[in-house]
Structure formats: C-alpha cells, structure tokens
Amino acid sequence: MTDPVDTATEAFVAHRNLLFTVAYELLGSAADAEDVLQETWLRWAGVDPGTVREKRAYLVRIVTRQALDRLRALNRRKESYVGPWLPEPLLTTPDVAEDIELAESVSMAMLLVLETLQPAERAVFVLREVFDLDYDEIAEAVGKTPNAVRQLAYRARAHVAARRPRGIATPAETRAVLRAFQRAVETGELQSLLDVLAPDVVGLSDGGGVRHALLRPVTGIKNVARLLAVGWWRRDVQRSVEQVQINGGPGLLVRVDGEIDGVVAVRVENGRVTGVYHVRNPHKLSRVDRETTITRSARAVR
C-alpha cells in the first residue's frame, strides 16, 4: 500500500517550482513566496491525496489563497516603505527566456505593472493569462463566482494592456542595449547616455532605507542621463559588473569589493531604455547569488 505521506510529498515536490512561480508573480517577493510555500505544504500535508483528483489545481488553489492573504499584508508594509518599492530580483535559468510569455510575466517591468492591480485582479490575471487556468478553477482559487472572475479578468487585461511594455525587445536586442547602457554609465559620458535612453525613460532605485538610493522616481531623458552620469554609481570603489539573467531577461549584477552590491534591470522598447530598475536593498538580494527555477509546468518525479 502506498504511504499517503509519500504520495503527498511526491505531488508537492513535482509542483514546487510551479507553485513558487505562482506565489512570486502574485507577490513580487521571493522571501514571501517561500513563506507561502511553507504554509501551502502544511495545509497540503493535512489532506488525503487519494481524495484529490487534480493535484495541480488543488495545490494552485491553496497557494493562491495563501498568497492573496500575504499580498494584502505586504501592501500594508509597502505604505511605510522608504523610497520606491521594487520587486525582489531573481537570478533565473537561461531556459526561462525561451518561454516568451513566462519571461515577460516575471520581468521587473511587468511585475511593476501587476503592482497597480487590486489583489483579486492580480490573481485572476496571473492564473488566466500566465498559467491558463479555466474560469471555474480560478473561481475556486480566489473564492468568487466564474462570472465575477470573467469581469475581473476583463478589467485586469485592459489595465495591463494600457501599461505593459510596447515593442518588447528580444533577449539579443536587450543584451546589446544593456551593453551600451553599461559602457555609458561606467564612463559617465552624457552623450552616450542620451543615445541609449528613451525620451520618457524612468529611473527607480530601491535601497529600502538600508542602502543609499533614490527616494522618488526620476523621469525624462535629461534628468536620468544626468543622474547616471554623475551620481548613480560611485567611481572611487573596486566595482565589477556582470551581465546575467535577471527575471527572465538580461540584467547586470554589480559587485563592490567582491560583495554583491545591487542588481540593475532595464526595460527596452524600440531599441532604447525606457525603464531602469536598480535594487540595492540587501534584504532583496539573497536570490541573485544562485539560479532560481521558475516554470509554468510540473516536473516528473521518479
């Protein structure tokens, strides 16, 4: 006879990366997503897996409900956050970029768009548009009727469509623009920065009150170029910059005196940088020293 505990463990392990991805897309925080996974496991361990027909749907339902509860608490914490709040960056595996929809959905730019949705709208959008759940499954997960879910999905799609990046660049195009951006920032040449930045570029940095960072967004090509040319990076320290995969796309991992100092991700549209996202809060840098697997599917367990 199969041990129910072993069956429950196998199912959870098989879906763990998927569940982490769902929680992370709902929260924008890897630390909170891991906490949600722990809570999900505790609830799943109390269920007889033999009574569950669709284990993936059941686990997604649990993780969504736990993430929604945590999202509301997280939103309250953000109200007292020092300076701009940026998602916690992930060092992702190269294969994520091959799944274009997944890579876009976890990009810093898209996670910031998702931040503008109400919690239920965010959950419905993510579950429908990214993970392709049907409306009945989503209704079970968010505790609403299928008709209410359809209305939320419609509103969320319209909201995201009006704010999502236009003319999304390929990974190769983004890498090329990122290299030019890196050279311009490292040299501080104003003209080189003007050549790579879009007229309506926005610069955000997140120090969380722990590290020096901008206290408010900087907008416009002249303001952002001036900031990058004279003040974004100190040039009197031993700095190394490595191009890596951050949230499914090219980004920069910055080290000072050998220690991780921050991560820079960019939003590239039509060959120009339209968004610069600089995360320096040390509490948000724990997932950039090793790769995190994110996925939209379960893995087989032998």
Q: How many helices (H) and strands (E) does the chain have?
A: 11, 8
- Annotate 112-148 with DSSP letters as a single string: HHHTTS-HHHHHHHIIIIIT---HHHHHHHHTS-HHH
Question: DSSP E strands: which ranges in 67-196?
Answer: 91-92
Quote the strand ranges of the chain, DSSP E: 91-92, 197-206, 218-219, 239-246, 249-256, 259-269, 272-279, 291-292
In this structure, what DSSP letter does residue 142 have?
H
pLDDT value, residue 160: 96
pLDDT at 236: 62
- What pLDDT shows up at residue 189? 84
Please give the Cα distance from 139 to 69 (Å, whole number): 16
- Which phi and psi angles does 295 have, rounded to 5°? -160, 165
d(CA 84, CA 62): 30
Q: Give the amino acid at 167.
A: G
Q: Tens-digit pLDDT profile for the chain (302 aa)?
A: 456 677 889 999 999 999 999 999 999 999 999 999 999 999 999 998 888 989 999 999 999 999 999 998 898 899 999 999 999 999 999 889 889 899 999 999 999 999 999 999 999 999 999 999 999 999 999 999 999 999 999 999 999 999 887 777 888 899 999 999 998 888 888 898 899 999 999 999 999 999 988 899 999 999 999 888 876 666 667 888 899 999 999 999 999 889 999 999 999 998 999 999 999 999 999 999 999 999 998 764 33
CA separation for the pair 295, 54 (Å, rounded)? 18
**Other Cβ atoms closer than 10 A to 204:** 22
pLDDT the model gives residue 302: 34
Helix H or strand E encompassing 207: none
Residues belonging to the chain: 302
Per-residue model confidence (pLDDT) at position 235 = 61
Cα separation, 280 vs 234, in Å, equals 13
Signed CA dihedral, 24, 27, 32, 37: sign only:
negative
Q: Check residue 238 and give its pLDDT.
A: 80
Looking up tokens 């072993």, which residue turns up?
A: 6
Q: What is the pLDDT of residue 170?
A: 83
Which residue do the tokens 């031993």 mark?
A: 238
Contact 210, 281 (CB under 8 A): yes
- Enter the pTM of the model: 0.93
How many other C-beta atoms are found inside a 10 Å radius of the C-beta of residue 189? 14
Residue with tokens 């906490």: 35
Given a contact cutoff of 8 angstroms between Cβ atoms, the answer to whether 83 and 216 are in contact is: yes
